[in-house]
Chains A and B, each alone.
Chain A
């Protein structure tokens, strides 16, 4: 089955730019989604279809991808952005959904 890898943790000071990666073989050919999950809450979609933001998600959240890496970029990080972030994609080879292991963003 398709495997994607995320760094376990990322730490940034307020106002800086946080970059969370999701590595997978030829992930550039896939459509990527990103979820944010705060403690005790259900996941919230912050990026869909690799680059699009649902209504209500600030423009500080942006998605991109290259050949083997998908990236979630959070500009001007705020304390309220502290959460776990998961990449998520459909693997058409196996007809299965896949989650990355998650990245804990800490705002220092």
Chain B
């Protein structure tokens, strides 16, 4: 049974950094691409970033202006999203998703999300 689990969310002050993490089980972690998608309160889904199975390819939303960095550690079955220079507009539920071996394949396995709140 496939499971995806996010962690690391919390309350952070504007301008600070936060790293959220994702792990998964039920499939061969190192063979699959992973994505981060976020959803601000009461808003729609916003794609954040994707990373290839081996970490050699990463893409992120232009709107983030390079502030967010996706990475992975296949030895420990972890994917990370490093978020820098946070603003209140980054307040959202951050979902981790996977299910395709390619960065351009749709992710059909999602976690329940980790909540990030940016507030002073």
Contact = CB atoms under 8 A, between A and B. Distances in A.
Interface in B82-120: 95, 104, 106, 108, 110-113
Contacts of B23: none
Interface stretch (B7-15, B24-32, B43-51, B66-74): B43-51
Given A42-B95, A43-B95, A96-B62, A88 B112 contact: no
B108 A101 contact: no
B45 A102 contact: yes
Contacts of A88: 45, 47, 106
Interface of B: 35, 37, 44-47, 50, 59, 61-62, 95, 104, 106, 108, 110-113
Interface string A1-32: 10000000000000000000000000000000
Contacts of B113: 42
A32 B68 CA distance: 26
Interface magnitude class on chain A: 20 to 34
B45 A86 contact: yes
B35 A97 contact: yes
B60 to A, nearest CB: 8
A42 B59 contact: no
B5 to A, nearest CB: 12
Given A43-B110, A49-B106, A97-B59, 17 more contacts: A33-B106, A37-B45, A42-B95, A42-B113, A43-B37, A43-B45, A48-B106, A54-B108, A84-B44, A86-B45, A88-B106, A95-B59, A96-B59, A96-B61, A98-B47, A99-B46, A102-B45
Contact of A1 (B46, B62, B110): B62
